[in-house]
Amino acid sequence: MKIVVTGGAGFIGGNFIHYYLSAHPEDQVICIDKLTYAGNLSTLASVMDNPNFRFVRMDICDRDNVFALFEEERPDAVINFAAESHVDRSIDNPGIFLQTNIIGTATLMDACRAFGNVRYHQVSTDEVYGDLPLDRPDLLFTENTPIHTSSPYSSSKAGADLLVQAYHRTYGLPVTISRCSNNYGPYHFPEKLIPLMIVNCLYDKPLPVYGEGLNVRDWLYVEDHCKAIDLIVRKGRIGEVYNVGGHNEMRNIDIVKLIIRELGKSEDLITYVTDRKGHDLRYAIDPTKIHEELGWLPETCFEEGIKKTIKWYLENRSWWEEIINGEYQNYYEKMYNNR
C-alpha cells in the first residue's frame, strides 16, 4: 500500500510515520507538510533515508501541486493530520485555521476524487463536540453527540468533518473520521500544556495555569492514537466516525503537580494566569464503538506514558531547545507576559 500522510512533521503525524514504517515495512509513505512553525524536519530525521519514505514540502491548500503529486504517486490512501492545531493561536488569528483546516481538507478530498476515488481518513478531534459540565461525570462524548464548538480551532475542525461527510454522501468518497481526545508523548510542540510545563520546569520558569486549573482533559498516549488510526484505515466501516480515547480524565492542575513531582521541582513555580476565552470545561470520550467494532484498546496507561514522555524530553533536549530558542520566544512573550 502507498499512503499519503499530511502534517507528518508535526506531533501526531510524526509519531504516526515512525509507528507506520515499522509496523508496515512493506508499505510506502509520502509525507506532505508545509513546515509551519509547528512542523519540524528533525522529527523525521531518522526516516529520511528510508527508501519507503518520501518527504515533500507542500501546502495542502496548494491545489495545483497537490494534484500534480497525486498524479505522480497515485496513492491508495490519504491520512490527513495537517492542521493548525492550537486553540490559543486560533483565538488570536482564526483566518489561517479556516484556510488550512477547511480549504486544505477540501483540496485533499478533491485530489482523492480526481485520481481514482482514493481512500481518505480525516484526523479530527473530540473538541468538535464542545465541552461537558464538570459536575456530570456520567456524561461522555459518543459519536452521536451533536457538534457544538467553542473555539475557532474546533469550529474549523468541525467544518472539515462536515465536508468529509458531505463528500462521502454526495460523491461516494470512501472516508472515515477519527475524533480523539488530547494526546501526549514525544515530539509534542512546547506550546501545549504537557510539554510546556515540562520545559518550563526544567528551566525553573513559572508554570502558567489558566484560571483555577480545574478544567478537565482526557489524555491518551500518542502511540495508542496512531494504532487506532491505522486500524480504522484498514478495517473501519466506510462513512463512519470513530471516537478514540482511554478514559483518562485529569484536571490541569493535577497534571502540572504530577510533572513538578516527577522532575523534583517546587509547586511555588505554579502561577495562575487569566483564563483562556471560551475555555472548554471538560472533555471525555466514550470509546465503546472502536473497541467493540475494531477491538482497539489503549495499551499505555497515564502513569507509564507520562514517565516515558518526561524521559523523552530529558533525553532529547536539542529537539525542543531549537524550538524554544527561535520564533517561539516571541509567541511566548505575546501569550504570557502580563497575563
Closest to 52 in 3D by CA, of 32, 22, 79: 22
Closest to 302 in 3D by CA, of 248, 238, 229: 248
Site string for ligand TYD, 232-261 (x = CB under 6 A): --------------------x---------
Q: What is the DSSP string of 218-229?
A: EEEEHHHHHHHH
Answer yes or no: 153 catalytic.
yes
Cell of 127: 473538541
Answer yes or no: 37 catalytic.
no
Nearer to ligand TYD, 56 or 214 (CB): 214
Answer yes or no: 275 catalytic.
no
In the chain, which residue ranges form alpha helices assigned H by DSSP?
11-23, 63-73, 87-92, 95-97, 104-114, 152-171, 193-202, 222-235, 252-262, 288-294, 302-315, 317-324, 328-336
Minimum gap (Å) between residue 328 Cβ and ligand TYD:
12
Site residues for ligand TYD, 169-188, by CB under 6 A, read 182
DSSP 8-state assignment for residue 132:
B
* Those residues with Cβ within 8 angstroms of residue 176's Cβ, 6 or more apart along the chain or in another chain: 120, 121, 122, 232, 233, 236, 237, 238, 239, 240, 241, 242
Q: Is residue 180 within the footprint of ligand NAD (CB under 6 A)?
A: yes
Q: Which of 13, 185, 208, 245 binds ligand TYD (CB under 6 A)?
A: 208
Residue 217 interaction partner, one of ligand NAD, ligand TYD, none, beta carbon < 5-8 Å per kind = ligand TYD
Q: Is residue 319 within the footprint of ligand TYD (CB under 6 A)?
A: no
Residues lying near ligand NAD in the complex (CB under 6 A): 6-7, 9-13, 32-36, 38-39, 59-61, 81-85, 100, 104, 123, 125, 157, 180, 182-183, 189
Residues that bind ligand TYD (CB under 6 A): 87, 182, 192-193, 196, 208-210, 215, 217, 252, 276
Residues labelled catalytic: 126-127, 153
